[in-house]
Structure 1
Amino acid sequence: MLAVIAVPDFAEDDAVWIDTIRRAHDPQYESVPAHVTLVFPFESADPDWFAGHVAAVAAVTAPINVALDRLARIDNPHQPKYRFLNVLLADAASAQPLTALYHALGGKGGYEPHVTLTRFGAVFSAKALERQLGELGRPVQGRIAALEILEISHGAIRRGAARPLAGRT
């Protein structure tokens, strides 16, 4: 299976806060950094074509500044074992270019750009952490400057080379 992510470069204090939460609650912590998923895992008939497509989209896309302005809990249809996610949602201004990038990469349907902080199998655990975290005092700021293809096989995740976002604003 293949997926595409973008790893935001966060300010140091935001990165430490995100890292602390993920280290304690995200079973993928060791495998992949905090990221925005732009193509959810799928089976590709032609991985080489797909890699070229991702590189072509990255070449014409400018780096994206993002602000994640609220915490939320969402259901995850892509990983039944970890159905409930606590996430940072992108604000409206940040969501628009991320949604456009999602569609340029081939995404269909609705899309809610977010960074996953935690994964839980039971909703009560996700709700408890959501209450503990409370409200964000300010938006978490980041910059996305590259795309990465992930190869997922039997639960193992292998990160591919970064494709720099090279378009102009």
Structure 2
Amino acid sequence: MLSAIHIFPAFRNHRSVDLLRAKYDPLFSLIPPHITLVFPFESTMTLDDLTEHIRTCIVGMKPFRIAMTGITGADGAYLFLNVKVGNDPMIELHDRLYTGILRKYLNRSFTYSPHLTVGHIHDKQLYESALLETAQFNEAFETVVHEIALERIDETGRSTVERKIPLLPRNPIG
């Protein structure tokens, strides 16, 4: 079984993102719109071990605002909804989470850039067409991130949120 750590943003106008994903993203029916903090990895770690790691890593991280707008292409196959506000705290979360027990899963061959995938198109011609179709998509999406989620991904690719861990401004014990 695979695990991953995400932000599941609660946009009030999420239907627009859903319409794009339904058209362009083959994962639409398997996982809600998300921003990946830790990419899927296979391990034998327990949910409690992963949860404890996450809690330790996010001590002092308080809720933060994100704003997203504009669709751009990536790697000749992906359509990304771009982060305009909130990049820094997401990068900080990503960097903190890829320490300790998750350090070995960090892929150093690419630079982490927070985004929300709205499409994955393998056919080059369809991809170019989708880029043109989404070029004028300028709807803004805003929310406050209050928690991150630990998910498990089954053999069919379906995502199940196993734990939601709140962002707290200080250690809840002290």
Same fold (TM over 0.5): yes
Q: Tell me which structure has the larger Cα radius of gyration.
A: 2
Instruction: Give the Cα separation in 2 of the matches to 1:112 and 1:150.
Output: 20
Q: Is the 8 A contact 1:58 1:163 kept in 2?
A: no
5+ long unaligned stretches in structure 1:
76-82
TM-score, normalising length: structure 2: 0.79
5+ long unaligned stretches in structure 2:
99-105
1:101 CA drift (Å): 0.7
Q: Percent of pairs identical after alignment?
A: 22
The aligned residue for residue 102 of structure 2 is none
The aligned residue for residue 78 of structure 1 is none
Instruction: Give the Cα separation in 2 of the matches to 1:63 and 1:32.
Output: 23
1:68 CA drift (Å): 1.6
RMSD over aligned Cα atoms: 2.1
1:127 CA drift (Å): 2.0
Where in structure 2 are the equivalents of 1:6-85 lying within 5 Å? 6-12=7-13, 15-47=14-46, 48-75=48-75, 84-85=77-78
Q: 1:86 aligns with which of 56, 76, 79?
A: 79
1:29 CA drift (Å): 1.7
Count of aligned pairs: 158
The aligned residue for residue 105 of structure 1 is 97
SS in 1 for 2:128: helix
Q: Is the 8 A contact 1:3 1:41 kept in 2?
A: yes
TM-score, normalising length: structure 1: 0.82
> C-alpha offsets along residues 116-148 of structure 1, whole Å, 9 cap, x if unaligned?
111222232222111101134354222221111
